[in-house]
Structure 1
């Protein structure tokens, strides 16, 4: 699973010249903790967070309050490519205490990933996971060939043919479904019960 599979797109963004008050309102309206800041070419210029707004309005030392996002945004931003593996992305977010990471496609903002996006993926119902696995397997070959069972995000596939290569492909296809924890595939007779 890749960043592109779980990101929010299109991302709600702001621009360097946006008034701080307007950016604060956008953050509150959408319920986010951060907004990517992009230039006129949709290239990432920075990020502005809840903490940036609070720090600006309640500074430790007296100072002028910022007027535009450019005055308070963080310019050195951790971002990832759309093809970044989600396990790597999750580890980065946890290790660096990031709540929101911009996702780039050829240098342009494609979306954002938040911690909540990971929870959305993990919380997908087994029935939805099974349906997605079946769709992927159907694209690979005869859908009548496979029985798919999903329990707590773990996929078991029964294959009526004896092909090690096909079983390996089936596992890779199943594990590529957002929310699948792991998959295994066995040779067996198809006892078609009501699939889950």
Structure 2
């Protein structure tokens, strides 16, 4: 399963000059955790997350901090006003052909909730943790149907194959002419979102 199979495209994104308040509105409206930041040529220049937008922006309530000294309540400088001032410029990215397993591992390792997908410098999609999780909860019928569709598109007349799916494990039963055909069948089945393992059962 590759990034292109589950990524969201086109991507809702913002520009460096976008006001922080507007970016916050886009995040909350769409229930995103982060937004890619692109320039006028759709080149990725950063990413802005929820934490970036709220940092140093929510004033303290003096009723909750009556113990503070007077010096702690002095007026502070206005927080940054644009996305370009608060965004993260070093971004973890992957390509459309990236293995989703590698994307999930990268998310865990780097504590990120979404990974922009790029083709060269251009943003072409984004994969979130929710996208990865959705592949884990697809119904068995939906997974089996997708595998059948891909096998039929590849094999054409090999309609006698049976496909079953159960909790991410796909079983393909049928006649296979050789080992190369088996490898192709396994590769096609594994490219379907929600497939973890593939078993081949040849008919006598």
- Equivalent residue for 1:194? none
Partners of 1:173 and 1:139 lie apart in 2 by 10
The C-alpha deviation readout for 1:123-178, integer Å capped at 9, x for no partner, is 11111111111111112222423111111121111112442221221111111111
Gap runs ≥5 in structure 2: 61-71
Q: Moved runs in structure 1, 4+ residues, more than 6 A?
A: none
Change (3 A) 1:161 1:117: closer
Deviation of 1:70 after TM superposition, in Å, equals 1.0
User: Which of 149, 163, 168 is the aligned partner of 1:153?
Assistant: 168
Please tell me the root mean square deviation across aligned C-alpha atoms, in Å: 1.7
Worse-superposed segment, 52-61 or 153-162: 52-61
| Partner secondary structure for residue 81 of structure 1 | coil
- Equivalent residue for 1:75? 89
- Equivalent residue for 1:17? 17
| Partner secondary structure for residue 22 of structure 1 | helix
Pairs aligned (count) = 189
TM-score (norm 1): 0.90
Q: Which has the larger radius of gyration?
A: 2
| Partner secondary structure for residue 9 of structure 1 | coil
TM-score (norm 2): 0.87
Partners of 1:160 and 1:137 lie apart in 2 by 13
Partners of 1:145 and 1:56 lie apart in 2 by 63
Contact 1:56 1:66 in 2 (8 A): no
Gap runs ≥5 in structure 1: 190-196
Contact 1:56 1:72 in 2 (8 A): no
Alignment of 1:125-164 (within 5 A): 125-141=139-155, 142-164=157-179
User: Which of 76, 80, 101 is the aligned partner of 1:66?
Assistant: 80
